Amino acid sequence: MGTDGRGSSEPRVEREDTMEPKDVDDLVTAFVDDASDVAAAAIGTGLAQAIHACIPERLAGCFAMRVALVLLREVEALRVAAGGAIARGRN
């Protein structure tokens, strides 16, 4: 086995850290935002399928809107109960 632990005989080269802390923070924030979008889309798709399967078509839009309003109210209530802090530390 070589000096880099992967079987190579070439010496391991230390990489220079070229990212600034703000760049790393921005990158992490972008990943979190993307993950949130994917999770929200998955939840929304699942709810839409459940509504489609269980609620008569003529009532589905109204029911979906009510679910959305209740969800917004509950999230706001939890935010207020937590003293206004949001999970990512922003107000």
Residue with tokens 């391991």: 12
b/e map 64-82, b = 16+ CB within 10 Å: beeeeeeeeeeeeeeeeee
Residue 42 lies in a domain: yes
Report the pLDDT value the prediction gives residue 85, as an integer from 0 to 100: 62
- Rounded CA-CA distance 68/65 in Å is 5
pTM over 0.75: no
Residue 48 lies in a domain: yes
Structural domain including 31 reads 17-54
Same domain flag for 64 and 43:
no
Q: What is the pLDDT of residues 1-59, one digit of tens each?
A: 455 566 666 777 776 667 687 888 888 999 999 999 999 999 999 999 999 999 999 99
Average pLDDT over residues 67-83: 93
Same domain flag for 49 and 68:
no
Same domain flag for 24 and 46:
yes
Average pLDDT over residues 54-79: 95
Same domain flag for 61 and 89:
yes
